[in-house]
Chains A and B, each alone.
Chain A
């Protein structure tokens, strides 16, 4: 199909190859294609680029073709100077440049660049555990057979990145293009050096809002899910990390983008420790191929949360005082030298509890001075530094919102939730929070305690699913 364009007379071979590297697998606005207008006109005439409608109307409903948005209040209308008419534009994905009804989205339809077939690309020297190997083999099988999708249901601390390596290797050996998408920029940033070490000679790019890598021309891409909006039929293997995490499960444009970013024969691998009910029910009905990794890489069971009823919890929250049950627990911890993560449901609570908590922790000798305690939340500009200081043990205790529920790993912590009955702590959040404890082989246990004033379904379900995983792993 692409052979028609391989003998384009007006572009010499190197230039054409260069352009195909740059634009293949993308769906772009004209403003994102940085070539001069004479060159662009020629590329269009030669059908190296194909113009496709950017907004499509079906039964009165307009859909943005880049992000899939059809929510009426997120579709604006504007009197357009360019085309001298009034028409729609997409407000949802406008941060990536405006998609307007009068402008096309351009898809590269010229030469398809051949990606390198790496003979032996993996430079990772570690070894997988038996459980990891089983999952890794299943992933390789899915990729080899070009199965459509596979869910990897792996507990927090299973070592999922390493499990992916054999599959990534298999794809690279075939000269395929791979994307690892995750909802969080922090994770993309952290993953890049790990992958570059594991695949020393493979071109790898990390794309997120404001990232130094921008071109999106590598064979192996790490990207936040938003960045996928620019890709079209690009990836042979798509790995979506934390499929259950916000905003992926809440924002319909992101599944839309992943669906369009993959080729027709692609394999999509979903990773999760806490599948959402929708995936869970597909899985139970046998509609979603999956593999379980019920055990952590160090082979020890997941810590099961303890529930602690605090009758007067509402009063404590209103007056920002520490419940006696919490201070009792602090005094009686089995390993008082573990660091502490204390989760609160809101930013306001996290901040208001700082002072009473600092006083209590100092009284109990858990911290020596108040600089060893900090609060952290999503709107905190020093978030990254504080997490780093907690790693260095300059900070010993963090009061945090759900922002630290996943993605970050500390070797040796105890975990408490204040007001675990709040609606932000759904089953997935509670399992993830409990999963922060016992991550290291040197200290594979850890205490997890939920302070509440009435058991919620989420708490019961979270404990049930943690126990079920331990049972499945034969660790009960």
Chain B
């Protein structure tokens, strides 16, 4: 077996943890695994950002904007956005190395079990879509790949209009820009939005807004990375 990131060969150590579940073996070597930083310790309860306060400055800002009607109840993320993670995301998402996403499978599943299993069991997963143009360019949607890791019903409820690259806009621009999402059909169950990264939270809130306006009772988000 070879490490998905550095391609070095991995000596498979059989431990009691994986002897009955060979598929749980990490596709990254231990050196590459250790470069990624799982979010732990004190974090903002609303957005998962490292924070000494219960609710971070970002989230207080959002609260003011929406005057206590924030459409996104909360977000939970798995990883910190450090430099090795930035490089990995760039190869996975922008270069389009689909397989690299497998590196996140088990940490993503474990974090989901930890933080969402006790939440509303009827909640449905909704991946954040790409626009058709971008989707064709990349060949796959990273949010759909992440959603498929999880053992929970998912529906591709949202559609995204074509537009300029989100990453090139400032936070202000993203927030006050026209909502890029529309719904294919309505839903009356709670929704867990799934995406690769929570950066400003604007994209997820646009999606949450559309869902809530069409009658969805509650929306939260599960993302791989807190940017």
Alpha-carbon distance A82/B2, docked complex (angstroms): 28
Nearest CB to that of B91 among chain A residues? Answer: A94
Q: Is the CB of B99 within 8 A of A77?
A: yes
- Min Cβ gap A167→B in Å is 38
Query: Is residue A319 within 8 Å, beta carbon to beta carbon, of the partner chain?
Result: no
Please determine whether A76 and B2 come into contact, CB atoms closer than 8 angstroms.
Answer: no
Interface residues on A, range: 10 to 19
Q: Is the CB of B99 within 8 A of A100?
A: no
List chain A residues, Cβ under 8 A from B7: 73-74
Interface size of B in residues (CB-CB distance below 8 Å): 16
> Is B75 at the interface (CB under 8 A from chain A)?
no
B97 touches A (CB below 8 Å): yes
Which chain B residues (156-181) contact chain A, with CB distance < 8 Å? none
The CA-CA distance from A95 to B7 in the complex, in Å, is 14
Q: Is the CB of A94 within 8 A of B99?
A: no
Instruction: Tell me, yes or no, whether A422 is within 8 Å of chain B by CB.
Output: no
Flag whether A91 is at the interface (Cβ < 8 A).
yes
Say yes or no: A89 contacts B98, CB within 8 Å.
yes
State whether the Cβ of A98 lies closer than 8 Å to any Cβ in chain B. yes
Query: What CA separation (Å) do A31 and B134 show in the bound complex?
Result: 13
**What are the residues of chain B within 8 A of A126 when measuring CB–CB?**
none
CB < 8 Å neighbour of B98 from A31, A73, A74, A78: A78
CB distance from A64 to the nearest CB of B (A): 13
The B-contacting residues of A in range 66-108, CB under 8 angstroms, are: 73-74, 76-82, 89, 91, 94-95, 97-98, 100
Q: Are B95 and A81 in contact (CB under 8 A)?
A: no
User: CB within 8 A of B96: which of A73, A79, A94?
Assistant: A94
Question: Closest chain B residue to A90 by CB distance?
Answer: B97
B87-130 at interface with A (beta carbon < 8 Å) = 91, 95-99
Per the 8 Å Cβ criterion, residues 132-147 of B in contact with A are: 135-141
Flag if A78 contacts B95 (CB, 8 Å). no
What chain A residues lie within 8 Å of B99 (beta carbons)?
A: 76-78, 91
A77 to B140, CA, bound (A): 11
Decide: B140 and A79 in contact? CB cutoff 8 A.
yes
Known: A73-B1, A76-B99. 20 other contacts (CB 8 A): A74-B7, A76-B98, A78-B96, A78-B99, A78-B139, A78-B140, A80-B139, A80-B140, A81-B135, A81-B138, A82-B139, A91-B99, A94-B95, A94-B96, A95-B91, A95-B95, A97-B95, A98-B96, A98-B139, A100-B139
Instruction: List residues of B whose CB falls within 8 A of some A CB.
Output: 1-2, 7, 91, 95-99, 135-141
Across the A-B interface, give the 8 residue pairs with the lowest CB-CB distance, nearest first.
A78-B98, A76-B99, A98-B96, A73-B2, A80-B139, A94-B95, A81-B135, A82-B136
